[in-house]
Structure 1
Amino acid sequence: MSAEESAASTNRHVESGTRGVLNVVGVHLYAEDSRGRVLLGLRHPDSLYAPSTHHFLAGHCEQESAVACLVREAREEAGLVIHPDDVEFAHAVHLLDAPGTCPRMQMIFRARRWTGTPEVREPDKCLGWGWWHPHDLPEPTVPYTRTAIDAIQAGRLYSEFGWT
């Protein structure tokens, strides 16, 4: 479907009062240290999503671009300062966690450079940050995080998770 057809379809949904299912956009940081290890955080046990599980530094896009979201979340969650010019797209995971849940487009961006050392700045969300070898990730790790890391290591830009 062309962009024009897609826009026309969206307009028809709005005009008729029906809506398609909107997808939530998540933004994730893929940061590797000088030893090739990936930064992951251990989510708080009271987290609504994936409690006590290792996951990327991540957040949802608000009224901002995906890169602006990544820069903001890195500062807020871990005290890392990333310049937008030091960010490149690395992978996307189109995710359906479970039937009946809202689909999500998870965009993973690689930061080539940053300043600061990861620190816990939101202790109600993250218990700690650690660097992990991509082929020896901690247990448990969020399944689509593992999928994305494997895909990035293999040079793939897109994967799907949870769709049947």
Structure 2
Amino acid sequence: MPPSVHHIRCVTEAYLEHPHERGALATLLTALAALDDPTHRKTFPAHVTCSAIVIDSNRHVLHIVHRANGTLLAPGGHNELDDHDLRAAALRELHEEMGISTGAVVPLTGYEDVPLDIDVHTIDANPSKGEPAHYHVDFRWGFLLPVDHAVKLQKEEVDGYEWRTFTSAVSLTVRSKLALLP
């Protein structure tokens, strides 16, 4: 069973203990008030996705090269029926796309039950999938990869990967939050 609306609300409220981000998450709050499943990929105009922000021992952040459009982003994607919570969805995506097992990473201290970042971004229409332009509300979970780990790319979705410094992380919001880590 995918993450419940109750679980998503609880995680969101814990995250919003930093209330300055509430306005940026209006799309998420509206989706949580609707009757549709916010984790289903066909829920429009917005649905929840999950990503893994993985930091290695050299304080570099893992990015994948997404096959569909060549963009650099964190490993992640849509929730699936067997994801019991949002963090589990991020870990599953990390394993699927990079071959990094759940046991190889540990949650960032202080972010065990709350994401490092929640980002709302626009996704272009995809007529071949019958999808209008919509929003992804991406719950970005922070993890440490304490030792080097072999990577096995999911060739159907990932063309490559990069380790980038905190200051060169692609996402500006993630970059600003990484700068605050000890």
Distance 1:38 1:118, change over 3 A: farther
Which of 116, 119, 134 in structure 2 is aligned with 1:90? Answer: 116
Q: Is the 8 A contact 1:30 1:39 kept in 2?
A: yes
| Map of 2:78 onto structure 1 | 60
Q: What is the count of residue pairs matched by the alignment?
A: 131
Which of 139, 154, 171 in structure 2 is aligned with 1:146? Answer: 171
CA distance in 2, matches of 1:21, 1:122: 27
Distance 1:21 1:34, change over 3 A: same
Bigger radius of gyration among the two: 1
| Map of 2:27 onto structure 1 | none
| Map of 2:48 onto structure 1 | 25
- The percent identity for this pair of structures is 14
CA distance in 1, matches of 2:171, 2:120: 14
SS of match in other structure, 1:68: helix
Please give the residue correspondences for 1:1-164 in structure 2 after superposition, counting only pairs within 5 Å.
10=34, 21-44=44-67, 47=68, 51-63=69-81, 64=83, 65-83=85-103, 86-87=106-107, 88=111, 89-97=115-123, 101-113=133-145, 117-137=149-169, 145-155=170-180
The structural deviation recorded for 1:118 is 4.8
Q: Is the 8 A contact 1:25 1:60 kept in 2?
A: yes
The structural deviation recorded for 1:108 is 0.3
Distance 1:123 1:132, change over 3 A: same
TM-score using structure 1 length = 0.64
Amino acid in structure 2 at the alignment position of 1:109: W
CA distance in 2, matches of 1:30, 1:74: 9
SS of match in other structure, 2:161: strand
SS of match in other structure, 1:31: strand
* Greater mean alpha carbon deviation, residues 95-104 or residues 74-83: 95-104
The structural deviation recorded for 1:147 is 2.3
Unmatched tracts of structure 1, length 5 or more:
14-19, 138-144, 156-164
Amino acid in structure 2 at the alignment position of 1:136: S
Unmatched tracts of structure 2, length 5 or more:
1-8, 10-29, 37-42, 126-131
Amino acid in structure 1 at the alignment position of 2:99: G
SS of match in other structure, 2:101: coil
| Map of 2:3 onto structure 1 | none
SS of match in other structure, 2:155: coil
Q: Is the 8 A contact 1:31 1:112 kept in 2?
A: yes
The structural deviation recorded for 1:153 is 2.4
The structural deviation recorded for 1:94 is 1.8
CA distance in 2, matches of 1:123, 1:98: 23
The structural deviation recorded for 1:60 is 0.7
Amino acid in structure 1 at the alignment position of 2:91: V
